[in-house]
Amino acid sequence: MRLLPLLLPLLWFGPRPTPQPDRLLAIKVDPDVAVRIHNLVGTTRVTGWDRDSIVVVGRIPPRGGRFFGGGGGRGAKLGVEGQDPSLTGPGSDLDVRVPRGARISIKSASADVEVTDLGGEVETSCVTGSIRVSGAPRVATLESIDGDITMTGAATVIRARTGAGAVRITGARGDLAVTTVQGPITIDTDQLLSARVESVSGRVEIRSGVLLDGLLDVSTHDADVQLFLPDPIDARFDLSTVKGAIVTGLPGHRGPAAERTARFSVGKKAGAGRGAGITIRTFSGGIQVHSNPKGG
């Protein structure tokens, strides 16, 4: 009996279990439903699954806003309203399951966005939040003002834009357009069909082949560009810099260091007027183009 007064404080002040996420919404929808998601502060995770339904679980902190959601069939809308993006502390945490073929649009301020296993369309808009997409969506349109963007998977069409954030694209095979202001750009894939890459001062590094009739167009102002191409190479090159230098190390062409304009072809088909078209232009950055037969 004497131990009871000693145990009571421990029971009262001891660790309390973490609240479990609430089930916030469950509705039946079409396989290609269009879904709009609004969560400004916190984290939004969207995962595709093989069910014709949307299920949302999540946590909304005190004074963190109010959940809303509804719809069905071909359209649905959900998210958190009444949020103040300027408040510090944890935001709302939403975990959304949607049909794999859904078309989703996500709006965020500082909330991070994660999208996995979708084969439909993905569109995201963030201010400082980061964006991570994995899978093979038909179209991925990813935009953040200052956040990082990471896309992993063989999406058919990718449009990625950020200001100070970094962009990393892995596994892309179709039509690709990437734009940054200060953020570095890294592209690592097997083959590109069509790619346009632009940056003001963010370094660009590309490790990829380009299909025989494919196009790669890279432009920067004062950022360096590095391109590593796997063997065999069959391409036509148009490289130019105003204040930088061009260095090439390709089979059949090893230009002198410090040249500022280089136009040449590598491969039999490129020499006959075919082959991939590769154009790299920069004002004061340097350009390096090398063979990368081992992918390292």
pLDDT in tens, 78-94: 999 988 766 666 789 99
Q: Specify the pLDDT at position 139.
A: 96
| Biggest distance spanned by C-alpha atoms of the chain | 97
Task: Say yes or no to pLDDT of 173 above 90.
Answer: no
Q: What percent of the chain has pLDDT over 70?
A: 86
User: What pLDDT digit, counting tens, does each position of 100-118 carry?
Assistant: 999 999 999 999 999 999 9
Tokens 């095979």 -> residue: 173
ω into residue 232 within 30 of 0, thus cis?
yes
**Mean pLDDT in the chain?**
89
User: What pLDDT digit, counting tens, does each position of 121-154 carry?
Assistant: 999 999 999 999 999 999 999 999 999 999 999 8
Check: CB of residue 256 under 8 Å from CB of residue 246. Answer: no
Task: Say yes or no to pLDDT of 11 above 60.
Answer: no
User: What pLDDT digit, counting tens, does each position of 193-208 carry?
Assistant: 999 999 999 999 999 9
pLDDT, mean of residues 4-15: 48
Question: From CA 78, how far away is CA 69, in angstroms rounded?
Answer: 4
3-class secondary structure, 8: helix
Q: Specify the pLDDT at position 216.
A: 97
Please give the span between the terminal C-alpha atoms of the chain, in angstroms, as a whole number: 71
3-class secondary structure, 11: helix
Neighbouring CB atoms inside 10 A of 257's CB total 9
Task: Say yes or no to pLDDT of 7 above 60.
Answer: no
User: What pLDDT digit, counting tens, does each position of 51-62 carry?
Assistant: 999 999 999 988
> How far is Cα of residue 102 from the mean position of the Cα atoms in its chain?
18
Check: CB of residue 148 under 8 Å from CB of residue 165. Answer: yes
Check: CB of residue 251 under 8 Å from CB of residue 266. Answer: yes
Residue, of 248 and 98, whose pLDDT is higher: 98
Q: Specify the pLDDT at position 269.
A: 67
Task: Say yes or no to pLDDT of 275 above 90.
Answer: no
Question: From CA 23, how far away is CA 25, in angstroms rounded?
Answer: 6
Residue 3's φ and ψ, nearest 5 degrees, are: -75, -20
Q: Specify the pLDDT at position 265.
A: 86
pTM of the entire predicted model: 0.88
Task: Say yes or no to pLDDT of 8 above 50.
Answer: no
Q: Specify the pLDDT at position 271.
A: 59
